[in-house]
């Protein structure tokens, strides 16, 4: 059993970002399914690995919190977490937020907190950044204004985009989300943010 535990542990450690699925482990044919699940349970209880969700495991400590958060919840990194990945803010948020279609949930793994926020049909507008699916800069601004409690203070949000303004193409993308998802009577906050960002951009 000790040899098998080492083999399973090595497989997880050698997986990209130290994250592996049960199906991939089964494909290695190290043992039968029951024994594999028993081994994973022992590794999890001993603290050597973390069960992110059913059928998905990570080394402990987690190698990349953003990728681990995405492996835990299917979606893209958003809100203040996306601001950090886009280098719009310098401090990494305590809670890493994943935008999902329907799942809203919170999971904690040691010092990490992963939060899923359901945006339903608004869960769109992301790109790949260093193997991480993250909301585009335009969609990040939209999401942060739409659900402020998962963002930074609005004043600091505006300042961040004043220092690193949206390109004309990104601004058109931002307008597209406003027109698609926000009724005219609710657009004041979004339009005011645009005016503040553009006004400072002209001065820089």
Task: With a cut of 60, say whether residue 121 has pLDDT above it.
Answer: yes
Nearest to 117 by CA among 89, 82, 77: 77
The pLDDT confidence band at residue 198, using thresholds 50, 70 and 90, is confident
Task: With a cut of 50, say whether residue 152 has pLDDT above it.
Answer: yes
Q: How far apart are CA 148 and CA 141, in angstroms?
A: 10
Task: With a cut of 70, say whether residue 203 has pLDDT above it.
Answer: no
How many folded domains does the chain comprise?
2
Report the pLDDT value the prediction gives residue 204, as an integer from 0 to 100: 47
Residues 92 and 188 in one domain: yes
DSSP state of 92: P
Residues 92 and 193 in one domain: yes
Nearest to 21 by CA among 46, 58, 49: 58
CB 80 within 8 A of CB 151: yes
Q: What is the pLDDT of residues 33-71, one digit of tens each?
A: 999 999 999 999 999 999 999 999 999 999 999 999 999
DSSP state of 125: -
Q: How far apart are CA 173 and CA 166, in angstroms?
A: 10
Report the pLDDT value the prediction gives residue 199, as an integer from 0 to 100: 75
- 6: domain CATH number? 1.10.10
Residues 33 and 134 in one domain: no
Residues 93 and 184 in one domain: yes
Percent of the chain at pLDDT exceeding 90: 94
Residue at a domain's end among 17, 32, 59: 59
What mean pLDDT comes out for the span 133-161? 97
CB 58 within 8 A of CB 19: yes
Q: How far apart are CA 43 and CA 46, in angstroms?
A: 5
- 107: domain CATH number? 3.30.460
Report the pLDDT value the prediction gives residue 195, as an integer from 0 to 100: 93
Average pLDDT across the chain, whole number? 95
Instruction: Report whether the peptide linkage leading into residue 87 is cis, meaning its omega lies within 30 degrees of zero.
Output: no
Percent of the chain at pLDDT exceeding 70: 97
Task: With a cut of 70, say whether residue 201 has pLDDT above it.
Answer: no
Task: With a cut of 70, say whether residue 189 has pLDDT above it.
Answer: yes
What mean pLDDT comes out for the span 15-28? 97
Task: With a cut of 50, say whether residue 118 has pLDDT above it.
Answer: yes
Residues 44 and 93 in one domain: no
Domain that holds residue 54: 2-59
Tokens 């401090």 belong to which residue? 91
Task: With a cut of 90, say whether residue 93 has pLDDT above it.
Answer: yes
Report the pLDDT value the prediction gives residue 200, as an integer from 0 to 100: 62
Tokens representing 75? Answer: 């979606």
Residues 48 and 115 in one domain: no
């Amino acid at each position: 059993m000790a040899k098998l535990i080492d083999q399973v542990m090595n497989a997880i450690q050698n997986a990209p970002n130290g994250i592996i699925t049960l199906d991939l482990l089964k494909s290695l044919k190290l043992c039968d399914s029951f024994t594999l699940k028993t081994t994973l349970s022992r590794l999890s209880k001993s603290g050597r690995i973390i069960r992110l969700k059913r059928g998905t495991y990570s080394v402990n400590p987690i190698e990349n919190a953003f990728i681990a958060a995405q492996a835990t919840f299917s979606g893209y990194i958003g809100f203040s977490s996306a601001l950090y990945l886009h280098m719009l803010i310098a401090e990494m948020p305590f809670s890493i937020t994943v935008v999902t279609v329907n799942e809203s949930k919170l999971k904690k793994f040691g010092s990490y907190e992963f939060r899923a926020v359901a945006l339903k049909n608004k869960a769109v507008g992301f790109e790949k950044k260093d193997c991480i699916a993250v909301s585009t800069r335009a969609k990040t601004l939209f999401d942060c204004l739409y659900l402020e409690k998962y963002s930074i203070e609005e004043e600091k949000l505006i300042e961040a985009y004043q220092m690193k303004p949206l390109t004309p193409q990104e601004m058109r993308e931002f307008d597209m989300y406003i027109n698609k998802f926000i009724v005219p009577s609710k657009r004041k906050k979004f339009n005011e943010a645009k005016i503040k960002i553009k006004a400072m951009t002209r001065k820089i």
